[in-house]
Structure 1
Amino acid sequence: MVIGNGTEALFWEDRWLNGRSAGELMPMLYNCIPKRRRKTRTVAEGLNGNAWARDIQGVLGLHEIGQYLQLWQLVQQVTLTDAPDQLISKWTTSGIYSAQSCYLATFQGSSQSYSWKLIWKAWAPPRVKFFHWLANLDRCWTADRLARHGLQHHPRCLLCDQAPETIRHLMLDCPFSRQAWHETLAWLRIPAPIPNQEPTLMDWWQHAKDDTPQAQRKALQSIALLVPWLLWKHRNSCVFDNATPSLDTFVNRIKEEADSWAKAGAPGLRVVLPPSWDVH
């Protein structure tokens, strides 16, 4: 708030003291001001005869007195003019508020992630996208998460029986999963590498996309969602139904589901399905 005549700016609430408010600069003194007075006292009223000092109520300690003296020094340097008060937006170079600048300000300090492009922009049933959203946040009930919560869990991955089960292991590192990735990509003739030490599924997809021709990238995107989803379901069958892991059964399930997705509207899969699986 740039002060002019002081009739619009609030003494205790607005940021008119070198871009800061009295509440930010003197929080303990600010707590001594009644709420109704904070919301009504303007700068012009407060500076008139130092009326702001009479807003203070209660017993003041050393910290409150110190902040009172600091505020006294600051307000003595303020001179009112005939110009109106002006509210300046710090999120625009012009200082004029816009809805766009407000929206962009909500992302200040946030980190960018490209995972949303794979999860929410690809064609897939909503339940598959929801699963990947949870998996990306490590919120699936894999053995490691069950262990962190003190719940009963299998000591090793049920698909390979070689390593502890984490969401990363299940999707990328498990020998069962890696073989499934290899056979699926070979079946669709997508020249993308299988997962290999990437930190996350999203990192693998981003890397594999660069090695995939433009015409096949939508198919890769669909497969990047389909295979982990069916891996999770196959894993759940082993956990809850005592099913035995079967790579042949699993790969056939991938082929059937890919055909169903293509018929339902996945444009990328229509392009790469082998002739014997052509969708009409």
Structure 2
Amino acid sequence: MIVGDGSRTSFWHDCWIASECLATKFQALYTHTMDNQISVKYALQQGLTASLVPRLSETARQECQCLQDLLQDFSLNNERDIRTGGIMGKFTTKNIYDTRLPPGISSPNWNLIWKCRAPLKVKLFAWLLVRDRLSTKQNLLKKKIVQNGVCDVCQQGDETADHMCFTCPFVQSFWERIRVNPTIQDVRLLHQLKPSPNVPELHHHVFFLLCMWAIWNHRHDVVFRGQTPSIRCCLQRCINEAALWAENLKIEDRHVGKLSPPVI
């Protein structure tokens, strides 16, 4: 949260509840603002409705009431704006993460993702995946960016994170092709994934993350490059990523970067 005189602080983007700024927390209401750059000082002195369109949708009206209730006990002072939530007023991403969970409790996926040997780009992807922050069709639909949430790869279901990784018919064919049966159907339970019989136990979580990374990128090619969904292409990308990743392992461990038996 921001404290101070609020004159240089963006109301919608610099004020946070837990780890979400107001623009994200109150998405429907944010779409009804006439000026998304108003300061905290303006919002509090002029009233929240002063920067909103005259007529609000029912969802926006409910969010407006909720936000006004939260602002009732908030007041400005004459000091400079500072961010709170960190040691000595220092604002860090760790502080934001800690506010998401009760004291002393961490995400069960934290160690799996951030302490595994996967490439950093894959770790970032995996963290967004388990937090449901990827731009899946369902998330884009919530933000009113697309007209429907149907999966562009299979055209048979709504594209959620779980659908994209486990229940999409295309993805199920992918797992069958490499003879792997994921033991979960919920990305939030990624830490519970067990190695399949034909997957080396060493770094098996990295194996799954690389596969999901390849699936995500193949989905990108289908949506944005007009490519036809292809199990072969998706597998080839997965094999290439695994081979590059394995080069950073000890020589005696590099065998885990190979799919065996050959699948394409």
User: How far did 1:160 drift?
Assistant: 1.4
**Superposed structure 1 runs of 4+ greater than 3 Å apart:** 105-112, 266-269, 274-277
**What residue in structure 2 maps to residue 255 of structure 1?**
239
Distance 1:276 1:111, change over 3 A: closer
User: How far did 1:256 drift?
Assistant: 2.0
Distance 1:272 1:250, change over 3 A: closer
Q: Secondary structure at the match of 1:231?
A: helix
Distance 1:110 1:163, change over 3 A: farther
User: How far did 1:168 drift?
Assistant: 1.0
User: How far did 1:150 drift?
Assistant: 0.8
Distance 1:114 1:140, change over 3 A: same
Runs of 5+ consecutive residues of structure 1 not aligned to the other structure = 1-104, 187-192
Instruction: Output the amino acid matched with 1:270.
Output: H
Computing the radius of gyration over CA atoms, which structure comes out larger, 1 or 2?
1
Distance 1:274 1:150, change over 3 A: closer
**What residue in structure 2 maps to residue 76 of structure 1?**
none
**Is the Cα contact below 8 Å between 1:219 and 1:272 reproduced in 2?**
no
**Distance between the aligned counterparts of 1:145 and 1:276, measured in 2?**
37
Instruction: Output the amino acid matched with 2:209.
Output: L
**Distance between the aligned counterparts of 1:275 and 1:232, measured in 2?**
22
User: How far did 1:170 drift?
Assistant: 0.1
**Distance between the aligned counterparts of 1:181 and 1:275, measured in 2?**
13
Question: Quick one: which of 200, 211, 225 aligns to 2:186?
Answer: 200
Distance 1:274 1:194, change over 3 A: closer
Q: Secondary structure at the match of 1:223?
A: helix
User: How far did 1:268 drift?
Assistant: 5.3
* 1:209-265 Cα deviation digits (max 9, x unpaired): 4x669x922242121110111111111111111111001111122122211211232
**Distance between the aligned counterparts of 1:110 and 1:205, measured in 2?**
19
**What residue in structure 2 maps to residue 183 of structure 1?**
177
Counterparts of residues 55-94 of structure 1 (less than 5 Å): none
Distance 1:263 1:169, change over 3 A: same
**What residue in structure 2 maps to residue 235 of structure 1?**
219
**Distance between the aligned counterparts of 2:181 and 2:226, measured in 1?**
28
Runs of 5+ consecutive residues of structure 2 not aligned to the other structure = 1-97
Q: Is 1:273–2:258 an aligned residue pair? A: yes
Distance 1:111 1:276, change over 3 A: closer
**What residue in structure 2 maps to residue 31 of structure 1?**
none
User: How far did 1:156 drift?
Assistant: 1.8
User: How far did 1:172 drift?
Assistant: 1.2
* 1:39-89 Cα deviation digits (max 9, x unpaired): xxxxxxxxxxxxxxxxxxxxxxxxxxxxxxxxxxxxxxxxxxxxxxxxxxx
Question: Quick one: which of 150, 154, 162 aligns to 1:156?
Answer: 150
Q: Secondary structure at the match of 1:158?
A: coil
User: How far did 1:110 drift?
Assistant: 5.0
* 1:154-185 Cα deviation digits (max 9, x unpaired): 5421221110111110011112112212323x
**Distance between the aligned counterparts of 1:275 and 1:260, measured in 2?**
16
Q: Is 1:142–2:136 an aligned residue pair? A: yes
Distance 1:235 1:108, change over 3 A: closer
**What residue in structure 2 maps to residue 221 of structure 1?**
205
Question: Quick one: which of 242, 264, 268 aligns to 2:248?
Answer: 264
Distance 1:154 1:227, change over 3 A: farther
**Distance between the aligned counterparts of 2:253 and 2:129, measured in 1?**
23
User: How far did 1:199 drift?
Assistant: 4.7
RMSD in angstroms over aligned alpha carbons?
3.1
**Is the Cα contact below 8 Å between 1:216 and 1:271 reproduced in 2?**
yes
